[in-house]
Chain A
Amino acid sequence: MSEKIKFTIDGKECFADKGKNIVEAAKANGIYIPTLCHLEGIEAAGSCRICNVKINGKFMTACTTEVADGIIVENNTPEIQELRKIIVETLFVSGNHYCAVCEKSGNCDLQALAYRYKMLVPRFPFEFEKKEVDAYSSKLYLDRNRCILCKRCVRSIKTKDGKSIFAIKGRGYKAMINIDYELANKMTEEEARKAMDTCPVGCIIRKEIGYITPIGQRKYDKKPIGSEIEEPVTK
């Protein structure tokens, strides 16, 4: 049996296996730390900052920090909740998120986090930046209006021989997600579905299956994101 590490999150005594990052360690103890760029099973990037926690009083990203003996983690404090809400709001104003016409609505992690943190209106001005839609590949289209540049797809969606199907082109403000048409056209339906599910927003969308789940039955219609991890008492 692997070595168990003892630490606390918001005062609760937690145990985790050595080598786990704090998002996974929290999950094993029934505590939800939100993630957008991080996905279990792929290398953490720490780019979206939504998983920010305070470790021994210092802000750190939970997905890139390994759990250590005796650390004191703050997660659900008003300060951190507010910080996460601000991050969600900046993402909403920097993209063009028209939830009402998005096929991902109801299954979207970004939207679900806005619901969880009760975002009624972003406090920042909307940018309304022009973004191109790329619908040239046969099974998927990219709606860059909704992309948050998390790189989940870049890091996790590969061909069998390890080639990337998605890549970021440009840097900084001009950075945008791109798709390799040739490789994308060879994807199986299952791989295309995985690509769409990997995207935390509505940027990677499968063609010809839009709005397949009725309103009321979608992932986040009834239960907040993270509620599947949290213990019933903390809901």
Chain B
Amino acid sequence: MAKPIVATTALASCFGCHMSLLDIDDRILELIELVDFNKSPVDDIKKFTQMCDIGIIEGGCANSENVHVLKEFRKNCKILISLGECAIMGGLPAMRNDIPVEECLAEAYLNGPSTKNSNTEKILPNDAELPCILDKVYPCHEIVKIDYFLPGCPPRADLIWNALVALVTGDEMKLPYEVIKFD
């Protein structure tokens, strides 16, 4: 049987979940025996080159580009996993969700300590090339169907490892108490 193919991405997030993946330490050698990687920051493949078995999503959707990438993943992956608090509930980026976007932009570009004296023309970024910021940060499963959820900030390396091994081998996933944490 061919090796299952994994794709990963980081949307509105800090990349910490991908770092936690590296915390599986020397098991990474076992992992590359078990799976092949396609589009992912790990191997720097920018575009899907084939249908993938498992897509791992870090981060929620804060702008139009995040939504675009997430939908691409849904189209090109048989199974999608929300990895970490940001993908699951918006995480720290979602702390802006009770503040109107206009106020957020004003704080960042007009009234913030580093911009209030330098941005004299009061310019807000508004170029067709730039992704459009969304009204709030959305959890991934509110945009597309997500099959599995691995919580944590970041998710424990053992949780990621157990999930990938369970998916690849078809065995039931081990969920000991210590691996489910939200911080």
Contacts and interface: CB of A to CB of B under 8 A. Distances in A.
Given A99-B153, A223-B177, A126 B90 contact: yes
A160 interface: no
A102 B95 CA distance: 12
B149 A114 contact: no
Interface stretch (B47-55, B70-78, B104-112, B134-142): B134-142
B150 A120 contact: yes
B98 A224 contact: no
A86 B131 CA distance: 36
B97 interface: yes
B151 A120 contact: yes
Nearest to A105: B183
A102 B141 CA distance: 24
A208 interface: no
A5 to B, nearest CB: 34
A190 B148 CA distance: 44
Contact of A224 (B82, B97, B177): B177
A100 B183 contact: yes
Contact of B91 (A100, A111, A131, A222): A100
Nearest to A235: B177
Interface string A101-135: 11001100001001100111110011011110000
Chain A contact residues: helix, strand, loop or mixed: loop
Of A96, A111, A125, A128, most B-chain CB atoms within 10 Å: A128
Contact of A125 (B88, B142, B153, B178): B142
A183 interface: no
B92 A101 contact: yes
A167 interface: no
Given A100-B183, A125-B142, A126-B139, A115 B177 contact: yes
Contacts of B132: none
A121 B183 contact: no
Contacts of B149: 120-121
B85 interface: yes
Contact of A121 (B88, B97, B175): B88
Interface in A187-228: 215, 221-224
B183 A99 contact: yes
A129 B94 CA distance: 11
A98 interface: yes
Interface in B84-137: 85, 88-92, 94-95, 97-99, 136
Given A111-B182, A215-B183, A224-B177, A100 B89 contact: no
A101 B153 CA distance: 10
**3 nearest CB pairs, A to B:** A130-B98, A99-B182, A100-B153
Given A99-B85, A129-B98, 9 more contacts: A99-B153, A100-B92, A102-B183, A105-B182, A118-B180, A126-B94, A131-B98, A223-B177, A224-B177
